[in-house]
Chains A and B, each alone.
With several copies, the nearest count.
Chain A
Amino acid sequence: MKIKETAKVLNQSKLAEGIFSLTIATTASEYAIPGQFINIFSKDASNLLPRPISICEIDKAAGTLRMVYRVVGKGTTEFSSLKAGDTAEIMGPLGNGFPLEGEKAIVVGGGIGVPPMLELAKQLPGSVTAVMGYRNDDLFLSEEFTDVASDLIIATDDGSVGVHGTVVDAMVENELEADVIYACGPKPMLRAVAQYAAEHNIKCYVSMEERMACGVGACLGCVCQSKDVDDHSHVHNKRVCKDGPVFLSTEVVL
């Protein structure tokens, strides 16, 4: 079930330079699962297309969704000025979300790929090792993982906190093992995590990103390459918005 509605902004706060946390009241929360995303629309009619933002936290009781996003352009700049009481046009939840599997899971987030891992870590049935990669010591959200993950490992590009290097450097250094890995972040990171998973024979889910228009699987704008001929497309393409954003690392070309 997907909702298109005018949601109410309950709260917005700045987590770090250019990183904002937005909580909205929306009936979309009733249907949301971790790894799904919502489309947020700009109020400026010259910005036609929705901005896809992953769901960071779901509170079904309160009927709310939380999103954490980086300001990078026109839409996110506009969203960053939303205040409690304002409204936001949204559509969601969209995409397939993460399957909740394994007794021992590693959740890997890189940069703005960190947020969707929070709700995932909360809902996973087994133990969770969270590996979070950041540019520097602006470790937004990382504290919140201490409550929901059994272990929290931090890697930073500049070495200011935790492992000096990538999330995969941190995984290697800590010789991490698990039944399943979940990853969200930039493509090179996903590629490296998938390789780590393959080498260690661990099942691995990755959350992909692509430019979108419809968000519901109709326009074929947001495809990623699939290893096999895909059931829907009958070519080597999968729709990130509908068939994903979460894929098995072995299904897609990274």
Chain B
Amino acid sequence: MKTSVNIAGVEFQNPVMEASGTFGSGMEYSEFVDLNKLGAVVTKGVANVPWPGNPTPRITEVRSGMLNAIGLQNPGVEVFCERDLKFLEQYKNTKVIVNVCGHSAEEYIEVVERLANESRVDMLEINISCPNVKEGGIAFGQAPKAVEEITRLVKSHAKQPIVMKLSPNVTDIKVMAKAAEAGGADAISLINTLTGMKIDVERQNFVLANKTGGMSGPAVHPIAVRMVYECANSVSIPIIGMGGITTWEDAIEMMLAGATAVSVGTANFFNPTATMDILSGIEDYMVRKKIEDINSIVGIVK
């Protein structure tokens, strides 16, 4: 039974990753999950310098989902290399995908160049879709021209394969996927969070200090599956699917729709072993359905 998948030349032992920003760099969850069993650790977004993020409250629950407005708090790429990448050295079986954020093209490039010679970095995920920062982030991800340009620019500076992370807050995700492909992306990942809002009716004020937040969790899964499906049928680069994956069924659904690998985000918060539970669910499904190679189900529902 073959569970390994190949994305842009990088071989992942299985298709199950966790989603950026929900797992730190793995340290905090290593008490619950043997990181060596993950397809990849996808790190929290890393910028050129430390970012303080947004004021609190940053988190609120919505039905079958949550809103977050962390605002990409991160210690900067220097600390990240010295601490987080060093920590990840010990997990040889697992690939490392570093999620990269920036306010400007220059900032993305600075991070990408700093990471170029870090051997522990197998792939870069370029976050052009964070709805929680004022500049950069989503601004790059909502116009096809901008997506193509930033992709081309980052690609020309990157040593590792690049995955462009797309925003679902768009009229036509296919156009964005094609723009990323045209810009030279090695793969795309989707979806980032959907912009939402919650108002406290007693206090008559926003629940989040940032007013809006990114919605994630099981509630967004049907939208994510639809978008992965649309992209899979529009581009020929591989897709890492995410958005509300909570059970192995959700993961298989995403793969049937066209994702080569899947990331698990919010589910970690209510089930710290979600990634492992999903992986074993996928394996059971393969046995039951007599699937020799997980790649054989990718995108077969058309």
Instruction: List residues of chain A with CB under 8 Å of any chain B CB.
Output: 1-2, 4, 41, 45-50, 91, 210-224, 232-237, 242
Q: Do the beta carbons of B22 and A232 come within 8 Å of each other?
A: no
User: What 8 additional pairs, Cβ within 8 angstroms, besides A213-B266, A219-B22, A220-B53?
Assistant: A1-B31, A48-B218, A91-B272, A210-B57, A213-B66, A223-B56, A232-B75, A234-B79
Interface flag for B222 (CB, 8 Å): no
With A223-B73, A235-B75 known as contacts, the answer to whether A41 contacts B60 (CB < 8 A) is no
Complex CA distance for A217 and B24, rounded to whole angstroms: 8
Complex CA distance for A237 and B70, rounded to whole angstroms: 12
Residue of B nearest to A239 (CB): B28
Complex CA distance for A181 and B27, rounded to whole angstroms: 32
Residue of B nearest to A51 (CB): B61
Give the shortest distance, in Å, between A11 (CB) and chain B (any CB): 26
Q: Do the beta carbons of A211 and B56 come within 8 Å of each other?
A: yes
Among candidates B22, B63, B273, residue contacting A214 with C-beta atoms closer than 8 Å: B22
Residue of A nearest to B29 (CB): A218
Give the shortest distance, in Å, between B217 (CB) and chain A (any CB): 6
Among candidates B28, B53, B61, B68, residue contacting A216 with C-beta atoms closer than 8 Å: B28
Give the shortest distance, in Å, between A94 (CB) and chain B (any CB): 11
Interface flag for B116 (CB, 8 Å): no
Residue of A nearest to B217 (CB): A48
Interface flag for B281 (CB, 8 Å): no
Q: Do the beta carbons of B56 and A48 come within 8 Å of each other?
A: no
Q: Do the beta carbons of A235 and B60 come within 8 Å of each other?
A: no
Give chain A residues whose Cβ lies under 8 Å from the Cβ of B217. Answer: 48
29 sampled A-B residue pairs with Cβ under 8 A: A1-B31, A4-B271, A4-B272, A41-B270, A45-B63, A49-B269, A49-B270, A50-B270, A211-B58, A213-B68, A214-B268, A219-B21, A219-B24, A219-B70, A220-B73, A221-B56, A221-B58, A221-B70, A222-B56, A223-B53, A223-B56, A223-B73, A224-B56, A232-B75, A234-B50, A234-B76, A235-B52, A237-B52, A237-B53
Interface flag for B23 (CB, 8 Å): yes
Among candidates A218, A221, A236, A237, residue contacting B59 with C-beta atoms closer than 8 Å: A221
Interface flag for B171 (CB, 8 Å): no
Interface flag for B90 (CB, 8 Å): no
Complex CA distance for A175 and B32, rounded to whole angstroms: 48
Residue of A nearest to B49 (CB): A234
Interface flag for B144 (CB, 8 Å): no
Complex CA distance for A154 and B51, rounded to whole angstroms: 44
Give the shortest distance, in Å, between A182 (CB) and chain B (any CB): 23
Complex CA distance for A207 and B22, rounded to whole angstroms: 25
Among candidates A49, A91, A237, residue contacting B61 with C-beta atoms closer than 8 Å: A49
Residue of A nearest to B75 (CB): A234
With A214-B269, A218-B28, A232-B75 known as contacts, the answer to whether A46 contacts B52 (CB < 8 A) is no
Give chain B residues whose Cβ lies under 8 Å from the Cβ of A215. Answer: 269
Give the shortest distance, in Å, between B55 (CB) and chain A (any CB): 9
Among candidates B57, B63, B218, B269, residue contacting A219 with C-beta atoms closer than 8 Å: B269
Complex CA distance for A18 and B270, rounded to whole angstroms: 26
A-contact 0/1 string along B48-92, CB 8 Å cutoff = 001111001111110111101010010110010000000000000
A-contact 0/1 string along B111-145, CB 8 Å cutoff = 00000000000000000000000000000000000
With A218-B22, A220-B44 known as contacts, the answer to whether A48 contacts B75 (CB < 8 A) is no
